[in-house]
Amino acid sequence: MSTAREEILTALRRGERGGNSAPAPWRSRQQFDDLAARFTATLTGLHGEMIRAASADEALDRLGDVLRDLGAARVVVNDEPPLAGVDLAARWPGIAWHVVGRTEGDLRAFCAGADAGVTGADAALAETGSVTVSSGPGRSRMASLLPPVHIALVAAERLTSDILTWAAARSGDLPANVTAISGPSKTADIEQTLAIGMHGPKRVIVILYGE
């Protein structure tokens, strides 16, 4: 194995031109007047759904509305802001909750059978209508992947222009998994006909709260 490594590196070194010709980083040239408006326009264009809320509190109310409309009975929720610390069972007693990292039991099995997954978001990219979710303690990869509906609660202050500004602002280590989600899972692999909800959620609902 190490021979393969050495051989490949030696072969690469033999062919490399060397020198330092790396260009200076490309910086985003997007100028959006209203990040939230652009985010909303792009997301809805991608078959995502958008709900605005003035505050985190109102966002929870809107979440309640969505869950009621869905008739959700089993919901997995990441233990992260703005949901961390909220007494979900008290607020929505009719729902079986799995709070990631707190509720006992098989997370994967719960996610596979859940009606919805609720998460926060580290960032929202206005240009592409994307929300980014990360792995970590209390943060399940599968909560935003296996259930048929993904609800993301996003603070408006997390809005950034695009993936370039996201990368420029990033520093240090990354979580093991960071995913930018741009609308519901989709495919057009059969006769180029769009079908929503291939492997991931069929609905992505973003509740954007705050100014």
What one-character DSSP code corresponds to residue 139? Answer: B
Contact indicator for 88, 95 with CB cutoff of 8 Å: yes
Query: Shortest Cβ distance from residue 155 to another protein (Å)?
Result: 21
Rounded to the nearest whole angstrom, what is the least distance from the CB of residue 145 to another protein in the complex?
5
Q: Least distance in Å: CB of 120 to another protein?
A: 13
Residue in 201, 194, 45, 182 with CA at minimum distance from that of residue 116? 201
Residue 17 identity (one-letter amino acid)? R
- How far from the centroid of its chain's Cα atoms is residue 53's Cα? 18
| Residue whose CB is less far from another protein, 2 or 71 | 2
Select 8 or 54, whichever has its Cβ closest to another protein. 8
Judged by beta carbon, residue 9 or residue 73, the one nearer another protein is 9
CB of residue 79 to another protein, shortest distance in Å: 8
Distance between alpha carbon 114 and the CA centroid of its chain, in Å?
Answer: 18
- Cα 177–Cα 112–Cα 68 angle in degrees, nearest 5: 100
Task: Say which residues have a Cβ less than 8 Å from residue 16's Cβ, sequence separation at least 6.
Answer: none
Cα–Cα distance measured from residue 39 to residue 133, given in angstroms and rounded to the nearest whole number = 16
* Nearest distance from C-beta of residue 98 to another protein, angstroms: 10
The nearer residue to another protein, 16 or 33, going by C-beta atoms, is: 16
From CA 195, how far away is CA 164, in angstroms rounded? 29
Q: Measured between alpha carbons, how far is 178 from 97 in angstroms, rounded to an integer?
A: 24
Give the shortest CB-51-to-another protein separation in angstroms.
Answer: 20
Could you identify the residue written with the tokens 């652009």?
38
Nearer of residues 43 and 53 to another protein, judged by Cβ? 43
- CB atoms under 10 Å from CB of 175, counted, come to 11
